[in-house]
Structure formats: structure tokens, C-alpha cells
Amino acid sequence: VIKLETRNLTKKFSATEGVADISLQVYEHELLTLLGPSGCGKTTILRAIGGFNKIDSGKILLDGAEVQGLPPEKRPTGMVFQSYNLWPHMTIYENMAFGLKLRKTPKKEMDAQIAEMLALVKMSGSEKKYPTQLSGGQQQRVAIARALVLRPAVLLLDEPFSALDAKIRGQMREELKRIQREAGLTVIFVTHDQEEAMAISDRIAVMNQGAIEQLDSPTEIYDNPHSRFVAGFIGEMNFLDEGGAVLAVRPEDIALRSASGAGMARIESVMPLGHYTQIILVRADGARLKVFIPKEQALGYIPGQTADYSFTRFKQFGAAQASA
């Protein structure tokens, strides 16, 4: 079931800035991530869907109905921003109650709904606190609860965890997946962090310069990137110029063998990284290759010596695409 759809959505700030012809479909109960470098247009799309940006052209459909003409409060979307989400002079209860009051929700019902949503994000009992009494992670939980208490059809999250430190961010990812599952949410999540996108997404739309380059499952994006940009943006990748084309090879897709005689490449460094070992090879033509092998296979490889290698899989891109 398609929950949300954009058709040729275009929003330009100048000739080169903004997004053009964005067409995407988000399925019910799906977590779809817009992933791309800073400035590629992720926030522009999210704000357009939420109604905070007037679009130049195109359509936005929610449950099949066009919403592009409606103001934010008339759209069945809820948005959580990167930071400054809660009003600092209001208690958590008042923050949560704000939108419900505008809807003239009876007090008793409001109390119950606020308690229910705070329980969902594991913040029960924090009603009387002020935002500054909570940690950054707790504040973002409340911000998500505040969006959810209005029962949005689609939850829009713009880099909600990027201000948090790495450990809390990891916990929040798992929390978000749990909340999504328990509440049956449809979520559009924005991040520039490819690891975060890989970890939480049902599908990822990889964006570059105002356009979507590939929309696929995380494994498909990783194993079968359609462009050099996608190949380089997700995970680690070696790029090798081979007579007019470019080979893209993952470090884990290079098999090593001890060389009999002079090997194909010199071993520059061997670095244990926990369960695998990183080996840097330098070929005679100067090209460097990063290789990941299981640590128990790394024992025979010593810096300064040579080794042979082969690619167990790779992708090839044409020269024109490679230079883009």
C-alpha cells in the first residue's frame, strides 16, 4: 500500500540549488531514508512534504489525496527537527499538550494520550519536567512523542539524532525501530550518515545534487550500486582506472594469496581492526587497494613483502560516469 507519494516535486532556490523532479513512493509501515551529503536537498524534500516549503511544481499525495496546497497543520504529517525541538519555557506536559489543545482535545483524553506516548518512548513520568532537565537523547524521545501524540499518518524525521553522541545515537536507532514497529508507523528519515541509513532503513533513497540517484533496499544499494557516486558514498570502496573504465571493488571482495616469487602488489601496511584485518596493497602502477580479510587469515602477510590478489566481485562504471 502506497502511503505517501511525490510526483515530479520541484523546489528551486536558484538555478543550481534545490530539488528537481523528485518522484518517490513510500509504503505503509515503511522506514524510508533520504541519504546524501550536506546540501543535496534532503531537508528541502522533507519540508515540502510537511508543508513548510511552498513547492514550485509537482504533487504530494497522502493516502491518494493531494496535499501540496495545504498548510502544515492541515496535513497528516508530523515533523521532528535536528535540534531545538522542545519549547524550553514549557514543561514536557505543556510541550506535548500544545497541538492537542489546538484540536480542542478534552483534558482527560489529552492526559491519557500524553501518558501513552511518553510510555512508548520510555519517558513515563516526565510530564512535570522542563526540557533542560533532560539529556539530549531524552529530549529527542519527547520530541518524537510530541509528534506522535497527534497521530500523524507519516512521521518526518530530519537528522533527529545527529546532535547526540555516538553511543546514544546507536541506542536511539534501535529505539526508533522499536517505536516504529510497535506503533506501525510510516517514517521518512533524513540523514547524511550512511551507516545510520544502512542500520535502520527498509529502503534508502541516495541523493546527489538535488536528485535521487538510487532507491533500493540497503543490501541492494551496498551490493549493486548503480552509479559511481552511490558506490563511493555507501561503505568503503576501491576505485581503479582500467583503460577508460573504472572498477569499483569492496575491500572485503579482494582475495589475497601469498606470492610465489615477485607478487602482484607490495604490502604497505597490516592493521588489525578487531574481527577483521585491514591490509593496504600498492601495485606497480602506484594504485592502492584496501583489503579486509578475517583476522585468522592475516597472519602470513607482512609489510614490505608482496602478495597476489584477485577480485571475487566488482562493479564496472563507464568513463563518462566515473568522471561525474
Q: Which is nearer to Mg ion, 37 or 303 (CB)?
A: 37
Q: How far apart are CA 321 and CA 324, in angstroms?
A: 5
Pairing relation of β-strands 211-216 and 288-294? unpaired
Single residue of 6, 33, 43, 139 touching Mg ion by CB under 5 A: 43
Contacts with ligand ADP, residue ranges (CB under 6 A): 13, 17-18, 36, 38-44
Three-point CA angle 159, 196, 314, nearest 5°: 130
Q: Which is nearer to Mg ion, 43 or 238 (CB)?
A: 43
Q: How far apart are CA 197 and CA 233, in angstroms?
A: 12
Which residues within the stretch 259-278 sit at the binding site for Mg ion (CB under 5 A)? none
Q: Which is nearer to Mg ion, 131 or 160 (CB)?
A: 160
Torsion 31-32-38-42 (CA) sign = negative
- Our finding on whether 139 is near Mg ion (CB under 5 A) is no
Q: Which is nearer to Mg ion, 6 or 43 (CB)?
A: 43
Q: Which is nearer to ligand ADP, 33 or 43 (CB)?
A: 43
Rounded to a whole number of angstroms, the minimum distance from the CB of residue 40 to Mg ion is 9
Residues pairing with 9 in the sheet: 22
Rounded to a whole number of angstroms, the minimum distance from the CB of residue 229 to ligand ADP is 14
Rounded to a whole number of angstroms, the minimum distance from the CB of residue 172 to ligand ADP is 19
Rounded to a whole number of angstroms, the minimum distance from the CB of residue 80 to ligand ADP is 14
Reading the block at residue 211, the C-alpha cell is: 536528485
- Our finding on whether 227 is near Mg ion (CB under 5 A) is no
Can you spell out the DSSP letters for 240-276? Answer: EEETTEEEEE-GGGEEEEE-SSS-SEEEEEEEE-SSE
DSSP 30: -
Q: Which does 11 bind (CB under 5 to 8 A by kind): Mg ion, ligand ADP, none?
A: none
What is the b/e burial string over 135-158, where b = at least 16 CB atoms within 10 angstroms of the residue's CB? eebbbbbbbbbbbbbbebbbbbbb
The contact set with Mg ion (CB under 5 A) reads: 42-43
